[in-house]
Amino acid sequence: ILFHPFSGVKPDVSLEIMKAGSVLRKAKSRMWRGHRHYKLQDDCKTIAYKSSWAMNSYSTCDVEAVREGHESDVFLSVADEYPPERCFTLVFRGRRGNLDLVAESAEEAQAWIRGMQTLIENLQSMGESEKLDQWISDLFLKADRNKDGRISFKEVRRLLKLMNMDMNEDHASSLFRMADKSQTGFLGSEEFVHFYKMLTQRKEVVELFQEYSSDGQTLSHCDLEEFLREEQLEGDRSQEHALELIQRYEPSDTAKANHTMSIDGFLMYLTSADGSIFNSEDQRLYQDMTQPLKHYFISSSHNTYLLEDQLKGRSSVEGYIQALKRGCRCLEIDCWDGSSGEPVVYHGHTFTSKILFKDVINTVAKYAFKTSEYPVILSIENRCSVEQQKVMAQLLKDILGDMLLRTTIDGKVPSVLPSPEELKGKILVKGKKIGGLESLDADNPVSGEVSDEDDSSELRRDSLTTESLPSDSKVSRCKSKQSLTKELSDLVIYCKNEHFNNFEHARIHGKPYDISSFSESKARKIIKEAAADFAQHNARQITRVYPSGLRTDSSNFCPQDMWNVGCQMVALNFQTAGLEMDLNDGLFSQNNRCGYVLKPEILRNSEQQFNPDKPQDPLIQVISGQQLPKVNNKVGSIVDPFVRVEIYGLPADQATQETSYIENNGLNPCWNETLEFAVHTPELALIRFVVEDYDMATKNDFIGQYTVPFSCIQSGYRHIHLLSKDGTSLRPSSLFVNINITEAS
């Protein structure tokens, strides 16, 4: 094979050991005793293994990370069976389960761990053109059905179907003959690259290139500068910017030396991060991180421990790892008395499985600051006896050590919350507290009574599951008292759960460190009746909103309505993919994915009346799509794609528009349709691009999407790199658009 995705991988002892193959035990449970022979293939892309009935394989490209030792639910549950130095876990992208393996020796485990790390790093460091080569290489291997290293026209026809394109037979045949330079009736790998390039030629990009090229062949750096100024609106950047882009993206060394860009370089630039719709400046940590915590939207998860539904789903430390990796900064931990004196975490009164509180805290300690250094808040739902509350407090102190915030940062009673910057590297406990911070020095009792009203009603409602489904008002009224131990109460510093009476009461009696929780339905009711008061309240203190207890399927509510009035912690079920998580991922994709996004000015000032920025009118020309994935694996089935553009924001800004659909073309559909919007409050808006497969008879199938804060989009000719339903990259699938934003008069 000519183009080899891992041809850049240096020979390596670990990889040689993997290629020789090892007998590894797949750990599943105590009862399971499966030994298998795993072997890395020469292409470094496939790990093959033989099960009792067939040869199977994993693709190394699907592996996101490798963990050493007992770092998974399975290993935690059977920890005593295998020594940690022989254990490792392969973590796959998306929502696919882990693979837990046990080697025969520590050395062998190390070889697999190092080898996998080498492969993962290699994949991460691949440039755009190498990624494209890999895509073509995969296609070639797929097309070459009889594995003779060349492909016939018949194989090409089948490949086109696999690639989501229904091409006119004559056209395909003439391209095939043009590519077949050796005139053998077959395409070798090099000829195949040529065929592929002709097939995927971007007519719209060539036309754009020629429009700006003075000689019709190349873009001089002046041509490129003009393009950047006129179309990309990057004119304020210096002349060096054009030269930089040539250095970065032009593949030909002679053109580079001559400060010119070829069509290949131009396409490379347009499909790169610099050509993306998402302004790379806003992807960095660009916001002021020194404002009080209440001035930020905080990425928050609900029932973090659950991987599935709320009735009989599985609880797992994996939920915490996944949420933290996505930048989540507020985790939920539902604690109940465990049978062996140790608190456990699960969804009370249901058949969800239980995990140890200790394991959850160990996981948090390990993963809290891997994606973001800003503070992590543990929202603790405490349903434990006084004895086990003491165990909880001790575990938090022992395991988290210095990371756990134990006093106010200056030892004084705060008049305002500290900033994410001041709380870097700290873990905060959110929960009930006896008294307030003001009584720090007073003789506090060993334990106290706290009202058992707010979030407990969340749990109580959740537990009423399949029976008659009550409305909010019927259940939450039963008040009672719960005993809270001083040890746990003392760990609550800046995030004290406080019952919400009304805005007036909160304004007069509220403390800066009070947090009130609302169910989505209560929050919606308040928004309907008193949105402005709610927004002002949220400029003074933090509000958390959680999904209705009736969502036993772990579905989500739309977070935008809550962000509109400045609610900081809008807790979503991270385990459930879909529109709501797309919006959450979209909002928090800016500011270096650190989990904190500064609220717009209008939502930070408790005095000011609502006074949004200048309205903007975006014109979005949806030009074309590239290499859209198949949604249906049947060979004959090809997508009929269309694009829908959706704006989320204040009610007046919510809008959707769509293109018409194009029949039978997922490879290079061309729409050329302009959609027009009016956005009055751009600083609160998100824009979502969705591609679907049109279906006249049934529901359209989802193909891919991308969501970005409106204020982070760049004007001009841009690519949008699509994401799958669960948020993983669908490279090389993309949309090509032209964005023109005018200030509304």
Ligand X SMILES: *[C@@H]1O[C@H](CO)[C@@H](O)[C@H](O)[C@H]1NC(C)=O
Q: Interface residues with ligand X (CB under 6 A)?
A: 203-204, 207, 220, 254, 258, 260, 619, 670, 672, 740, 742
- Alpha carbon dihedral 374, 92, 74, 320, in 10-degree steps, equals 20
From the number of C-beta atoms within 10 Å of its C-beta (0-12, 13-18, 19+), residue 201 rates as middle
Cβ nearer to ligand X, comparing 367 with 671:
671
Ligand-binding annotation for 142, yes or no, is no
CA distance 188 to 561: 56
Q: Least CB distance from residue 258 to ligand X, whole Å?
A: 4
Ligand-binding annotation for 430, yes or no, is yes
Locus of tokens 């690259």: 193
CA distance 455 to 476: 10
Cβ nearer to ligand X, comparing 45 with 221:
221
Cβ nearer to ligand X, comparing 529 with 743:
743
Q: Least CB distance from residue 274 to ligand X, whole Å?
A: 18
Query: HSE (CB half, 13 Å, CA atoms) of 65?
Result: 9
Cβ nearer to ligand X, comparing 79 with 670:
670
**Six-digit token string for 163:** 């690639």
Q: Least CB distance from residue 643 to ligand X, whole Å?
A: 14
CA distance 509 to 503: 10
Cβ nearer to ligand X, comparing 298 with 639:
639
Cβ nearer to ligand X, comparing 203 with 525:
203
CA distance 690 to 642: 8
DSSP 66-134: EEESS-SHHHHHTGGGS-GGGEEEEEESTTPPPEEEE-SSHHHHHHHHHHHHHHHHHHHH--HHHHHHH
CA distance 345 to 107: 35
**What's the full length of the chain, in residues?**
745
Lateral strand order in the sheet of 670-676: 655-658, 641-648, 686-693, 701-709, 716-723, 729-743, 616-626, 670-676
Ligand-binding annotation for 693, yes or no, is yes
> For residues 589-601, b (16+ Cβ closer than 10 Å) or e, as one string?
bbbbbbbbbbbbe
CA distance 262 to 598: 41
Cβ nearer to ligand X, comparing 262 with 707:
262
CA distance 250 to 257: 10
Selecting among 295, 347, 719, 721, the annotated active-site residue is 347
Cβ nearer to ligand X, comparing 250 with 487:
250
CA distance 649 to 711: 12
Q: Least CB distance from residue 252 to ligand X, whole Å?
A: 9
In 3D space, the residue among 689, 677, 684 whose CA is nearest the CA of residue 712 turns out to be 684
Element (H, E) at 299: strand 296-301
Ligand-binding annotation for 286, yes or no, is no
Ligand-binding annotation for 166, yes or no, is no
Cβ nearer to ligand X, comparing 606 with 621:
621
Q: Least CB distance from residue 740 to ligand X, whole Å?
A: 4
Backbone φ, ψ for residue 367 (5° rounding)? -105, -5
Cβ nearer to ligand X, comparing 160 with 233:
233
CA distance 293 to 500: 19
Ligand-binding annotation for 305, yes or no, is no
Q: Least CB distance from residue 173 to ligand X, whole Å?
A: 23
**Six-digit token string for 559:** 């977070």
Q: Is 171 a catalytic residue?
A: no
The three-state secondary structure class of 721 is strand
Q: Least CB distance from residue 736 to ligand X, whole Å?
A: 11
In 3D space, the residue among 112, 60, 62 whose CA is nearest the CA of residue 86 turns out to be 112
Whether 107 and 88 have beta carbons less than 8 Å apart is answered as no
DSSP 624-676: EEESPPPSS--TT----EEEEEEEESSGGG-EEEEPPP-TTBSSS-EEEEEEE
From the number of C-beta atoms within 10 Å of its C-beta (0-12, 13-18, 19+), residue 742 rates as exposed
Q: Is 302 a catalytic residue?
A: yes
Q: Least CB distance from residue 253 to ligand X, whole Å?
A: 10
Ligand-binding annotation for 640, yes or no, is yes
Q: Least CB distance from residue 214 to ligand X, whole Å?
A: 8
Give ∠ CA 562-568-570 in degrees, rounded to 5. 55
**Six-digit token string for 204:** 């719209």
Q: Least CB distance from residue 204 to ligand X, whole Å?
A: 5
In 3D space, the residue among 137, 236, 328 whose CA is nearest the CA of residue 715 turns out to be 236
Ligand-binding annotation for 358, yes or no, is no
Ligand-binding annotation for 664, yes or no, is yes
Selecting among 302, 537, 719, 721, the annotated active-site residue is 302
Ligand-binding annotation for 695, yes or no, is yes
Long-range contacts of 128-132 (CB under 8 A, 24+ apart): 128/268, 128/271, 128/272, 129/251, 129/268, 130/5, 130/8, 131/731, 131/732, 132/732
Ligand-binding annotation for 334, yes or no, is yes
Active-site positions read 302, 347
Q: Tell me the binding residues for Ca(2+).
A: 303, 332, 334, 381, 638, 640, 664, 693-695
Q: Tell me the binding residues.
A: 303, 332, 334, 381, 430, 432, 517, 544, 638, 640, 664, 693-695
Q: Tell me the binding residues for substrate.
A: 430, 432, 517, 544
